Chains A and B, each alone.
Chain A
Amino acid sequence: MYSWYKRNQIAATPWLFLIPALIMFAMYVIYPILQSFNLSLYKWDGLGDAEYVGLANYEKLLLRDRAFEISMWNNAKWLAFYLLAIPGGLFIALFLNQTVRGIRLYKSLFFFPFVISQIVVGLVFTWFYDPTFGLFNAIIGVVGLGPVNVLGDPQLATYGIIAAGLWPQTAYCMILYLTGLNAVDPEQIEAARLDGAKGMRMLWHVILPQLRPATFIAFVVTIIGALRSFDLISIMTNGGPFGSTRVLSFYMFEKSLSEYGFKMGYGAAIAVVLFLLMLIFIGYFLWRMYQDEKGGH
């Protein structure tokens, strides 16, 4: 045994090193994805026997479920508006990219919201929006507006939650851009300045192309963040009012572990839809990374 290992060391070592990670990953990530696909073809309350129903779950989901439709729309809203974190983060990064005294502390404090858990962010914003004592209504009250019960209004609630989510996400994008701005080639900037470029033109033609790696990562983490949104919804509105703030991930959770009986198969079907939606983006991200790999080696 030992002498075999000695002879085949180079070939065997990587697998020995990979085994623990692979086992854990297969058991808790890869296999469950397949199981979700399988389970979505069954009707199951989580206790008794599962009953095979074919595509019935999907049929009901896609054709006859109003709540699913609302969740899909809300996911679309999350995707669209959450991306505002990228220009927002860039804007703050440009504002803070100076070398005055104490700027390091300012940068850290601007980044602060990202470090706090989304649960606390959710609580903070729930109180911020509160119609009786919230800061939000105190502010719009100054100009004679309100009071508005943001989270109690089915039309507004989702936007209110997305705004809360944008707070930490913008901070994240800001730090990505600050790091990126640090690495921008000063010679190119000087050369462009000599050519008379400045302001927006400089930003667009010289700076942004060099920030592309940062933009890519900001894009990846923001899309993933948008599709994973759950905590804020759970804490701020718990899906309400009247189910108007549900997204796919929340709806799936609600269906699978609802207090009115577990609908595991139906929940799995929702999960599969969410996964397929995500697959479009994952495919694109992986393709981009694969291109980099090929270029790099």
Chain B
Amino acid sequence: MFPAPIEKASRGARITYQTMLPFVLVLWLAPLIAVALFSVRPAADFTAGNYWGLPSSWEFIANYGQVFTSSMPRYILNSFMITIPTVIGAVALSAMAGFALGVYRFRGNLILFFLFIAGNFVPFQILMIPVRDLTLDMGLYNTKTGLVLFHVAFQTGFCTLFMRNFIRALPFDLIEAARVEGIAEWRIFWFVVLPLMKPALAALAVLIFTFIWNDYFWAVVLTQGEAAQPVTAGITSFNAQFRAMYHLMSAGSIIAALPPVAMFFLMQKHFIAGLTLGAVK
């Protein structure tokens, strides 16, 4: 292990390390802790200039309660209604494409594979004008469906890269054996390969959930207003409504950030496996 394990060092070094840990962590998360503290202060503290002292009263319920009576719940619901179909769509499409690229040898295989990778590296802003037009033409501007369709298509690049590499690492003998038995190819996909892919499916699902939940650019390009906008875009109108009411804006931001955070803590192992692209095991 590198650096040398601290258990083997002197007692003094060990104690220093363990007291340093929480200290460094607080430093690292300081901007966030500040916002969390803001979110439980009463409005009066801000007018009185009491930013960093103890809150004069703890207004957790009042502040967060007010967030829930605003349009915030609507935006959060929109976010879920955009994120969940995208996750299902992108994972399904890329599992199939990854299977095709990972299992079969055919002309153009590698070119298609690199096309998906390249598309995934593109700074997506360059797609803005044509995708906005396309969405308008299909009559899907300012709908959740329009946003979902684009997200599915774009995430398919990254997901296919991931799935294909994962399938490549599976024992090919299993597929060969199934073929010898005369099992149809689509059955091999469904009954042999897919069950083995569960870790990859889970990793991608968690990761895509976070990516899509946190998307802001496409939300402002393809939607406007309460009916379709997800919470990342909604928070700006929320903030405009509660301008300079920092206790409410802080509480709103924390609520908006919560679902991916919960997802991460619940599915940590899968999340990290996804992030490292399976390349560093």
* Residues of A bordering B, CB below 8 Å: 9-11, 13-15, 17-18, 20-22, 24-25, 27-33, 35-36, 39, 94-95, 97-100, 103, 106, 108-113, 115-120, 123-125, 127-128, 133, 135, 138, 167, 172, 175-176, 179-181, 183-184, 186, 189, 198, 202-203, 206-207, 213-214, 216-217, 220, 224, 227-228, 230-231, 234-235, 248-249, 252-253, 256-257, 264, 267-268, 271-272, 274-275, 278, 281-282, 285-286, 289-290, 293
Contacts and interface: CB of A to CB of B under 8 A. Distances in A.
B275 interface: yes
A13 to B, nearest CB: 4
B238 to A, nearest CB: 11
Contacts of A28: 127, 131, 134, 149-150, 153-154
A21 B257 contact: no
B125 A110 contact: no
Given A176-B276, A252-B128, A117 B121 contact: no
A17 B97 contact: yes
A35 B149 CA distance: 19
Contacts of B123: 224, 227-228, 249, 274-275, 278
Interface residues of B, number: 99
B156 interface: yes
Contacts, number: 276
Contacts of B106: 11, 14
A271 B129 contact: yes
B264 A115 contact: yes
Contact of B281 (A120, A125, A183): A183
Given A29-B157, A115-B261, A293-B110, A97 B38 contact: no
Contacts of A216: 279
Interface in B123-154: 123-131, 134, 149-150, 152-154
Given A30-B119, A117-B256, A282-B121, 16 more contacts: A18-B112, A25-B115, A28-B150, A35-B130, A98-B6, A100-B17, A110-B25, A116-B261, A133-B51, A135-B52, A217-B280, A253-B125, A253-B128, A286-B118, A290-B114, A293-B110
B35 interface: yes
Interface string B15-59: 001100100110011111011001000000010010110000000
The residue among B186, B236, B268, B275 with the most chain A CB atoms within 10 A of its own CB is B275
B100 A13 contact: yes
B2 A117 contact: no
B235 A9 contact: no
Contact of B121 (A14, A127, A203, A224): A224
Contacts of B109: 14
Contact of B280 (A98, A214, A231): A214
B64 interface: no
Q: Is the interface of A mostly helix, strand, loop or mixed?
A: helix
Nearest to B265: A108
B148 to A, nearest CB: 11
The residue among B25, B210, B280 with the most chain A CB atoms within 10 A of its own CB is B280
B5 interface: yes
